[in-house]
Amino acid sequence: MDMQKVEITKEIRDYGIMSVVRADVQTSLNIAEAGLKGGVKLIELSFTVPTAQESIKQVKKNFPEIIIGAGTVLDAVTARIAILSGTDFILSPEFDKDVALICNRYQVPYLPGCNTVTEAVEAMTYGAAFIKVFPGSAIDGPKWINTVKTPIPNMPILASGGGNFDNFNDFLDAGADCVAFGGLLANGSLQQIESNAHKLTEQLEAYRKNKA
């Protein structure tokens, strides 16, 4: 049985670490497997790559335990294609009302990129599951998240862009529910990706244990 929006949203928050992949089908499969071996069960497969639709299908088929997000979805047509391909959630670098509505219609979590409070609140009004702080490094993500979470503590946050071992805890301290990593979990050898995934999952576990 397919997970509904509320369940997938909970999985994203519980897992807390997402890989961001822009690659062909086979490379996407390899990276997904390496990340999974290291404990990372969330992956974004970007529609900047023409084979993204097939990548979603193949990762879903080969690794059903992975929660898959379709990335860089800029319009409702692409969102519907991604949903039909089996994606579990939709991500975008910006907020689009039509994408939000189609995601609501099919009960698929929508994670739009926002970098103003006005845009973020509007996205929440349209049912966004998380506000994607993007690019996290360019807008001083931890500081932005902390500033926004002070008056709006219930805003769910995905930090994406510029995440690394050194600032991971900073994003978490600021209030990020999940942090997406491109370089650490998508570049380099498969062995390095698996090792990085292990380190990040251990870092998150230690952080949460310390905060408990």
Do the beta carbons of residue 88 and residue 111 sit within 8 Å? no
What is the pLDDT confidence band of residue 4, given thresholds at 50, 70 and 90? confident
Q: Decide if pLDDT at 53 tops 90.
A: yes
pLDDT digits (tens, 9 = 90+) for 155-177: 999 999 889 999 999 999 999 99
**Would you say residue 1 has pLDDT above 70?**
no
To the nearest whole number, what is the mean pLDDT of the chain? 94
140 vs 45, higher pLDDT: 45
On the question of pLDDT at 2 being above 60, the answer is no
Q: Is the dihedral of CA 1, 20, 55, 49 positive or negative?
A: positive
Q: Give the pLDDT band (50/70/90) at residue 139.
A: low
* pLDDT score, position 123: 97
For the chain, the domain total comes to 1
Contact (CB, 8 A) for 173 and 204? no
Question: 133: which residues sit within 8 A by CB, 6+ positions away?
Answer: 113, 114, 115, 139, 141, 144, 145, 157, 158, 159, 160, 176
Q: What single letter denotes the amino acid at residue 37? A: K
- Determine the pLDDT at residue 22: 96
Q: Give me the pLDDT at residue 165, please.
A: 96
Query: How many Å apart are CA 26 and CA 179, to the nearest integer?
Result: 25
pLDDT value for 115: 82
> Minimal CA–CA distance to 92: which of 121, 115, 113?
113
pLDDT at position 116: 87
Segment 67-112, tens digit of pLDDT: 999 999 999 999 999 999 999 999 999 999 999 999 999 999 999 9
Domain span at residue 137 reads 5-211
What would the mean pLDDT of 128-133 be, rounded to a whole number?
96
The whole-number average pLDDT for the span 136-148 is: 79
φ and ψ of 156, to 5 deg: -80, 135
CATH of the domain at 184: 3.20.20.70
Of the listed ranges 47-61, 64-78, 137-151, the least confidently predicted one is 137-151
> What is the mean pLDDT of the segment spanning 14-37?
98
